[in-house]
Amino acid sequence: MPVKTQSKDIFISYRREDGSLYAHILAQSLAEKGYSVFYDRRALVVGSVFPQELTCAVEDCHDFIAIVSPMYLAAEKDGALRIEQEEDWVRKEISLALKNGKNIMPVVVGGAAKTPLPKDLEAFSNRNFISFDQTAPIEEFVTRLELGFSEETKENREYNTLMQELRDISDEQDNDFNIKVRKLIMKHDEETVEKKLLPLIKAMKEPDLCFTAYYAAFTFYRRLGYVYKIHDLVDHFNEQFKDYRFNNIILSQHYSTLFQLEGHKPEDLRKAIEYARIALEKIPENSGVMQNYADLITKGFEMGVMGKRKDKEQLAYAIGRIENALKINPGYPKYHCTLGRLLSFKNRFDEAIMAIEKAISLENMETKDSFIRIVEYNKYIFDIKLRKVQSRVQNGFFFTGAMLGILAVLWILGRVL
C-alpha cells in the first residue's frame, strides 16, 4: 500500500546530475510566495519508501513542473537513454503525471534540446516548454510561470497565505491584537470569510489560530453591519473561545445586536455594556476596546436605556476613554464620531457636530464601506441638531415659566403690602 504524504499542489521533477540547483531555487521561490511545493530533496523523510511516496506526491499534485536540463531526457545508463528504461524515475514521474492528467509545465534550463521520447511519453513533448533565462531575476520567471498554474493551486496559495497571515497575528495576549486583525481582514471579501475562515473555525485544530479567524470574521461582519451574522457566529462558536480576553468584545457586540434584533430589551444592552467594561478592565490600553465601551454607552443614552443621574458618571468616564483612544489614534474617524455623540448628551452640541464633521473628513472614500459610515455620520449630525433645537425650546419654556412665577409672587406681595 502506498505511503501517503501531506499533499502538495506543485511537484518539481528533475535530474540530480544537473537539475538540482534549478529545482532548489525554483522550489524556494515558490514556497516564499505561499505555494505548496513537493521537492524531493527537502520533502522526503529519511528512511521513507522513496518510490511509493513519490508516486503519491505526483498523484496528489495539481501542477507538475519538469526541470528539463540537458540530462533530464538525454541521460544515459549502460549505453542507453535512461528515459527509455522502465525503472528510470524521471520516466515514471512523467508517465504518472500524464496518466493522471496533471497540468504539466516543462521548464527548459541550461540549453537543453528536445529528445525523441518513448511512445507512451510523446504527449510530454507536445506541452508548451518555458525557457528559464538565468540572467533574468527569478521573480520575473516565477511571475511568468504562475500564469499557467491550475486554479486549484492558485486558490490554495491564497488560502496558505491567509493562514500564515493569521498565524503571524494569532497572539491574543498582544494588546494590539484587534487592530492587527482589522487591518488584515479588510483586505479580504465576504467569500474569504465564508469559504475560508468559517471552515477553519469549525475544524478547531489550532485554538489560537481558530480564535484569530473567529475574531476576523466578527470584525468583518461588524464593520459591514451584518448583525444577523454576528448573532449566528456567536451562537455557534462562543463556548469554544470563552477564555479569550478579546471574546468579551465579541460578546458585547453580540448582546448589542440582540438589543437591536429582539425588541430593544434594556437587559441586553446592559449586558453588552458589562462585557465591554470587562474587556476594558482586561485590556485597558487598547484604543479599540475604549471605543467599544464608549460606543455602547452612547447607544445606551441614544436609546433611552441610560440617562438617569447615576449614569452621568459612566458618560463622563466614556468621554475620558474615547479621548484617550484619540490620543493613541487621532486619525481614526469612528473615534471622532463617538466623541461627538457622547458630547451631545452633555449638551455640548456645537462641539459634538464639529467632532462628527471631523470624522467625515477623515474617511477614506476608497474603502468599500466608507459610504455607509458617512451616511451614518450625517444621520448623527441631523439628530444632534434636532436635539439642540429641542433643548433651546425647552429652555425657553422653562425661562418663560420661571419669569411668570416671579411676576406672580411680586404681584401677590404687592397686594399684601
Q: Which tens digit of pLDDT belongs to each residue from 35-61?
A: 999 988 744 444 445 578 888 999 999
Distance CA 259, CA 247 (A): 18
| DSSP result, 243-264 | TSTTHHHHHHHHHHHHHHHTT-
Nearest-CA neighbor of 121 among 146, 86, 145, 94? 94
A 10 A CB-CB count for 158 gives 14
Q: In the structure grid, which three cell numbers stand for residue 157, read together?
A: 496559495
Q: Which tens digit of pLDDT belongs to each residue from 238-266?
A: 999 999 999 999 999 999 989 988 888 99
Across the range 184-208, mean pLDDT stands at 91
Q: List, in sequence order, every residue forming a beta bridge with 131; answer none if it has no partner.
A: 108
148/51: higher pLDDT: 148
Q: How far is CA 156 from CA 26, 100, 151, 330, in A?
A: 18, 20, 8, 38
**Position 4 pLDDT exceeds 50:** no
Across the range 150-167, mean pLDDT stands at 92
Q: How much of the chain, in percent, has pLDDT values that exceed 90?
A: 62
Of the listed ranges 5-19, 99-113, 402-416, the least confidently predicted one is 402-416
Taking CB atoms within 8 Å and a gap of at least 24, the contacts of 111-120 are: 111/70, 112/68, 112/69, 112/70, 112/72, 112/73, 112/74, 113/70, 113/74, 114/73, 115/73, 115/74, 115/81, 115/83, 117/73, 117/83, 118/83, 118/84, 118/91, 120/95
> Contact, 333 vs 327, CB < 8 A?
no
| Burial degree of 273 (CB within 10 A; 0-12, 13-18, 19+) | buried
Nearest-CA neighbor of 39 among 336, 152, 391, 22? 22
**Position 404 pLDDT exceeds 70:** no
**Position 2 pLDDT exceeds 50:** no
Q: How much of the chain, in percent, has pLDDT values that exceed 70?
A: 90
> Contact, 22 vs 6, CB < 8 A?
no
3-state SS, residue 199: helix
Phi-psi region of 347 (alpha: psi -120 to 50; beta: other; left: phi over 0): left
> Contact, 246 vs 278, CB < 8 A?
no
125/414: higher pLDDT: 125
Looking at residue 43, its pLDDT comes to 45
First to last CA, the chain: 118
Nearest-CA neighbor of 124 among 88, 152, 99? 99
**Position 114 pLDDT exceeds 80:** no
Q: Kindly report the average pLDDT of the chain as a whole number.
A: 87
Q: Specify which of 7-11, 79-83, 156-160, 294-298 reaches the highest per-range mean pLDDT.
A: 294-298
pLDDT band at 369 (very low <50, low <70, confident <90, very high): confident
**Position 403 pLDDT exceeds 80:** no
Distance CA 95, CA 291 (A): 61
> Contact, 342 vs 353, CB < 8 A?
no
18/80: higher pLDDT: 18
Across the range 134-162, mean pLDDT stands at 91
Looking at residue 408, its pLDDT comes to 62
Of the listed ranges 46-50, 73-77, 313-317, the least confidently predicted one is 46-50
To which H or E segment does residue 37 belong? strand 37-38
Nearest-CA neighbor of 113 among 144, 65, 73, 142? 73
Calculate ∠ Cα 349-351-353, nearest 5°.
70
Across the range 305-314, mean pLDDT stands at 86
> Contact, 337 vs 355, CB < 8 A?
yes
pLDDT band at 410 (very low <50, low <70, confident <90, very high): low
Distance CA 293, CA 318 (A): 7
Model-level pTM? Answer: 0.72
pLDDT band at 134 (very low <50, low <70, confident <90, very high): confident
